[in-house]
Chains A and B, each alone.
Chain A
Amino acid sequence: MSDCRRQWNREDELPVYLAGPITTGPNQRKSFGMFSSVEGAFDSKTIDFDNYAVGRKGSRTPRSGSRERVLETGDPVGKTPGEAADGSRRSPSGEADDARSGVEVRFTSEKESPNEKGEKLLIKGGRVVNDDQSFYADVYVEDGIIKQVGENLAVPGGVKVIEANGRMIIPGGIDVNTCLMKSYLGTQPVDDFLQGTKAALAGGTTMIMDHVTPQPGDSLLEAFERWQEAADKKACCDYSLHVDIPQWNENVKDELELLAQDKGINSFQLYMAYKDLYQMTDAQLYEAFSFLKQLGAVVLVHAENGDLIAQEQRKILEMGITGPEGHPLSRPEELEAEAVFRAITLGNRVNCPVYITKVMSKSAADTITQARRKGSVVFGEPITASLATDGSHYWSKNWAKAAAYVTSPPLSPDPTTPDHLHTLLACGDLQVVGSAHCAYSTSQKAIGKEDFTLIPEGTNGVEERMGFVWDKAVAMGKMDENQFVAVTSTNAAKIFNLYPRKGRIAAGSDADIVIWDPDSVKTITAKLQQSAAEYNIFEGLECRGGPALVMSQGRIVYEGGKLQAQQGTGRFLPRKPFPDYAYQRVKCRNQVKSKQGVTRGIYDGPVYDVAPTPKYITPAPSAKTSPTSHQPPPIRNLHQSNFSLSGAQIDDNIPRRSGHRIVAPPGGRSNITSLG
């Protein structure tokens, strides 16, 4: 098992202080100020310039020997059970070695090959934690599906048994926001579907939802197919796709219909930022919302006021601020809050569920909270970065470090933001956690070295997502374990209509299972991460809690710190439209909300003569109505009236509320022009 061995080699190389359980202080980040020394800062971290020679993109940095651990599609069938068990027992690296973390794998029959198709697995003695309750039960998995949950299960022979030793068994995480193929000016993120899903699995996430990001003018359908093809080849875990709508026109509508009905896409992202690129006007957003609502899709919104950002960016560049600090300065958090407010207003008007991607600031989160209090159907997604770090790093003297934090909306410079977002996550005002994982290398970030507006946007976080929510919310006592499951997995499955196939441990669900170790402690560092990015924005943060074992599609893919992912095993999961979680209320409101005109007699009093045509041609208030609406011709023949007391009425075609009294009393109508 070459893979295994590589892992071993890698650990041998590690500095001594990382090889044992970490016992240093709670917060490892010391990198403030330019003269402070950071542990490990002088180890082989400098960029290998040869590999960055312009033009040779795609060549990954051999930062250390471990960097080349691109997984062979390595045939794990060849692995003998002995070796596998060996691995788990001997894995002495860091947290996983002492007895308490002992998730044991043993076989009732030594003959069974563990990773064959139709593998049978029994997780014994664990505590199953779903979003609603926790209970002790064994879980039996066969063919990638959970077949039985309960005590004293009757299972066939030859079953591989995993002893959970009372640990939590949780549904695998669902990362609702990744961008593993989002090209920027022709360069691709360093984490593709392979690298990205490996990182996801290592962090306990067994499903990702990636954003298909076509450029304006591209066909959505083609982009979708490109993404699907790439993901089918490379992804190591199940995936689904969101499609971003870069512009709004008639062609897009047809494609959207096709995507929603035939391709299994039920979520589309719209942009309120990126002026002259992706940004849509309010009127376009309104149309898009209405259309997507008819398709039964969830509308994802990137909420920032692009017009104001463009103005601010110009102002800040003029002031001579070109570094990454210009990024948060030109995108202050109220622009995010404003756009969130507007998106919610649009959602309310159209009566359409709205999902705010990347909630980065307190005020945006508060806006969502208030809207939910008023009954709006709105969901908020904070991301790993906003939950674990803050925007003070934009002012770092180290350009490469500062640039690594650049994402949109930016991290809030207010250091109390993560705490606030965790509180809202715990109380249910924010629902799901994504990572917005979009990793660019430092040299890619350096495209914007003299102009912050050109820095490619994106931070890492797919691997750290679950760990940080545990560390900052559950370990701090803000959140219980059930809510943890809800925000990392179940809610996402519900919103995007994958529940209960994903997001729950129940008979019939997919066997995406994580055995969670709440006691493990690890220090985040770019050296040990799966992602290919040179920089980890959580560098040096200590994180309690992590997966002890990860099972995807019924296969053990991560165990005791070792990843055994298989490239190309990820399946595309189509999603049906009209997810109940989002649309049940919307449907009800549709019925209640139908508006009705007042049936009143035709006004037959004097009408002021509007100045005839020449004056009228100026875009006078006729322009107040929308150009699409069918307006009556501006000047009517005032003597022509369809009004009669009996027979057909002009408003007969208006559906009348049944039981509505028709106001044509036998004695004739009272004079409606009277001023009483």
Chain B
Amino acid sequence: MSYQGKKNIPKITSDRLLIKGGRIVNDDQSFHADIYMEDGLIKQIGDNLIVPGGVKTIEANGKMVIPGGIDIHTHFQMPYRGTTTVDDFAQGSKAALAGGTTMIVDHVIPEPGSSLLEAYDQWRQWADEKACCDYSLHVDVTHWDDSVKQELDNLIKEKGVNSFQVYMAYKDYYQMSNSELYEVFTFLAERGGIAQIHAENGEIIAKEQGRMLQMGITGPEGHVLSRPEELEAEAVFRAVTIASQTNCPLYVTRVMSKSAADIISQARKKGNVVFGEPITASLGTDGTHYWSKNWAKAASFVTSPPLSPDPTTPDYLNTLLASGDLSVTGSAHCTFSVAQKAIGKDDFTQIPEGVNGVEERMVLIWDKAVTTGKMDENMFVAVTSTNAAKILNLYPRKGRIAVGSDADLVIWDTDAVRTITAKTHNSAAEYNVFEGMELRGAPLVVICQGKIVLEDGNLHVTCGVGRFIPCPPFPDFAYKRIKARKQLAVLRAVPRGMYDGPVSEFSMSRGGTPSASARTSPTKQPVRNLHQSGFSLAGPPTPEDAPIRPPGRRIVVPPGGRSNITSLS
């Protein structure tokens, strides 16, 4: 891309780096090799590399060198009712880098009714000013009409966005009806976009919330009580159904519960193109904390879908992640201060939703999945980085250590142990949902755009160096199967003679009641002239130009004439 931060290049050209003696871990294999980087790109990989003089050398001492993590789901600097999340792009990307994540993908959330493009530009501006690492953007589609279609088209073709989130929750606000979802999915499938879905049944949530409040439950526990996990599972199931109808790749953001994850893995077993994204919080902690007596603590766990109160959930999600049924991990990092959370101190429905997790994401997966023996190191790379790059169509530029790829990599220390606490984390939030957890594994050195940003426990970041990475449409990872199916799934009509028997009389205009005429789509003329028939025994049948008849199909006008098609045999 020509426009991506040309100004930034001089800053990083000076960095020539050699990593010696490391073990390169990609998603497919691990091998010992040295890596030489120049101009923010990986130039050479191999043993005994010939490198120019004056190169800074890092001794990896046999430690793992992995592609930098890609956090596919963040909400930095997200506006919420006049305030913004406490982690802006600077603070957030700093936390990301500290955790070994070298690229983030943020969600653009336009207010319903406002322009998607304007919101996109706004986010670009914020991020370009402040981001310390490369970033991409998802755009959330918060309402649906023809102007949105135009903007989506523009975003896909010109602006480098290929993934769009739609909501099945937040009734009367972001929520879309099934028909709208169908249209969005159809549209995205044609344009090569990925449909991301916030899957929760908003209608039932609204009812349940009302019921909870009436029962006098106003604290954060009402949040999880009004959003039980089956509402998530139900919505996932529905989204999968719609996506499969429209032949559109589906990406379920924030898989928080066992049952939702199960639905995804079942759908994948049936062959649906579905990706599931558990987040740091659902992989690392559970929803029992909603019942904490400490309001501030309970409120800090509020996110949607909520963390499941079932304490075996994290383990289960890690297992599915290891088996490949869930594909990528995000953090859904969206931090509010306690005072901001306290907007909902008397009504849990008003609590701003979001948890931290961008910094802890990689470490947590290492601790919960790899050190427990569920997952190998290659799978670890796949779920933290490579799969995300593939879905975003950035592979192999990101998500792989290979010649020509971006020099975003991490030297991973498998033995480090540290305790998560809000006192030492890089986020600005006062509270950390993983407080007190002891986690093995940590990034030792983080290299972003060919520059060392973390070394010896010291973080050196520069605000504004982050480049926007445009994502081209039709990622192969999702669309190869979709394209093949599109060709197969052509529906065909049965060529049969016109029914020429008697037709019972029926009243189409029975009063103003919306009788069965409403069953047809509104665009269709309800009453046809039943006497008008294009049927003739001789000559070519009328629908010759109609595309429905496949070539090579026998035209059924036998020489002896058609058999009487009204016979009842």
Q: Which residues of chain A are near B179, meaning CB under 8 Å?
A: 275, 307-308, 310-311
| Residue B538 at the chain A interface, CB threshold 8 Å | no
| Residue A534 at the chain B interface, CB threshold 8 Å | yes
| Residue B222 at the chain A interface, CB threshold 8 Å | yes
Main secondary structure of the interface of A (DSSP, over half): loop
| Residue A337 at the chain B interface, CB threshold 8 Å | yes
CB distance from A363 to the nearest CB of B (A): 9
| Residue B125 at the chain A interface, CB threshold 8 Å | no
B504 touches A311 (CB 8 A): no
A281 touches B210 (CB 8 A): no
B568 touches A349 (CB 8 A): no
- CA of A115 to CA of B517 in the docked complex: distance in angstroms? 49
Size of chain A's interface in residues, with CB distance under 8 A?
125
Bitwise, B488-513 to A at CB < 8 A (1) or not (0) is 00011110111101111111101001
CB distance from A676 to the nearest CB of B (A): 8
A621 touches B81 (CB 8 A): yes
Q: Which of B204, B241, B516, B565 contacts A305 (CB 8 A)?
A: B241
| Residue A648 at the chain B interface, CB threshold 8 Å | no
| Residue B244 at the chain A interface, CB threshold 8 Å | yes
| Residue B438 at the chain A interface, CB threshold 8 Å | no
A595 touches B496 (CB 8 A): no
B237 touches A341 (CB 8 A): yes
B245 touches A446 (CB 8 A): no
- CA of A619 to CA of B347 in the docked complex: distance in angstroms? 17
| Residue B530 at the chain A interface, CB threshold 8 Å | yes
Q: Which residues of chain B are near A283, meaning CB under 8 Å?
A: 171, 203-204, 206-207
Bitwise, B171-182 to A at CB < 8 A (1) or not (0) is 111000111001
Main secondary structure of the interface of B (DSSP, over half): loop
| Residue B342 at the chain A interface, CB threshold 8 Å | yes
Which A residues have a C-beta under 8 Å from some C-beta of B? 31, 34-35, 38, 40-42, 45-47, 49, 52-55, 57, 184-187, 215-217, 274-277, 281-283, 286-287, 305, 307-308, 310-314, 316-317, 319-323, 325-326, 329, 332, 334-335, 337-338, 341-342, 345-346, 348-349, 395-403, 441-444, 446-447, 449-451, 453-454, 526, 534-535, 595-598, 600-603, 605-608, 610-611, 615-616, 618-632, 636, 651, 653-654, 663, 672-676
Q: Which of B131-139, B154-162, B333-341 contacts A (4 or more CB under 8 A)?
A: B333-341
- 10 closest A-B pairs (Cβ-Cβ)? A611-B82, A629-B210, A41-B569, A52-B502, A307-B178, A282-B203, A626-B206, A314-B521, A597-B217, A185-B506
B506 touches A277 (CB 8 A): no
A395 touches B494 (CB 8 A): yes
CB distance from A327 to the nearest CB of B (A): 11
Can you list 16 A-B contacts with CB-CB less than 8 angstroms, sorted by A residue number?
A38-B569, A41-B569, A49-B502, A187-B504, A308-B178, A311-B183, A314-B524, A322-B493, A345-B204, A345-B233, A398-B569, A598-B221, A600-B295, A601-B293, A603-B342, A631-B347
CB distance from A587 to the nearest CB of B (A): 19
| Residue B213 at the chain A interface, CB threshold 8 Å | yes
A447 touches B431 (CB 8 A): no
B567 touches A398 (CB 8 A): yes
A454 touches B519 (CB 8 A): yes
Q: Which of A441, A603, A622, A632 contacts B504 (CB 8 A)?
A: A441
Q: Which residues of chain A are near B215, meaning CB under 8 Å?
A: 595, 597, 654
Q: Which of B172, B345, B499 contacts A627 (CB 8 A)?
A: B172
Q: Which residues of chain A are near B219, meaning CB under 8 Å?
A: 597-598, 600
A606 touches B241 (CB 8 A): no
B493 touches A446 (CB 8 A): no
- CA of A76 to CA of B177 in the docked complex: distance in angstroms? 60
Q: Name which of A277, A395, A441 has the most chain B CB atoms within 10 A of its CB.
A: A277
Question: Assuming the A-B contacts A451-B520, A603-B296, A630-B213, are A608 and B503 also in contact, with contact meaning beta carbons closer than 8 angstroms in the complex?
Answer: no
CB distance from B221 to the nearest CB of A (A): 5
B218 touches A325 (CB 8 A): no
Q: Name which of B225, B228, B504 has the most chain A CB atoms within 10 A of its CB.
A: B504
Q: Which residues of chain B are near A441, meaning CB under 8 Å?
A: 504
| Residue B548 at the chain A interface, CB threshold 8 Å | yes
A47 touches B502 (CB 8 A): yes
A308 touches B566 (CB 8 A): no
A611 touches B294 (CB 8 A): no
Q: Which residue of A lies closest to B532 (CB)?
A: A450
Q: Which residues of chain B are near A398, meaning CB under 8 Å?
A: 496, 565, 567, 569
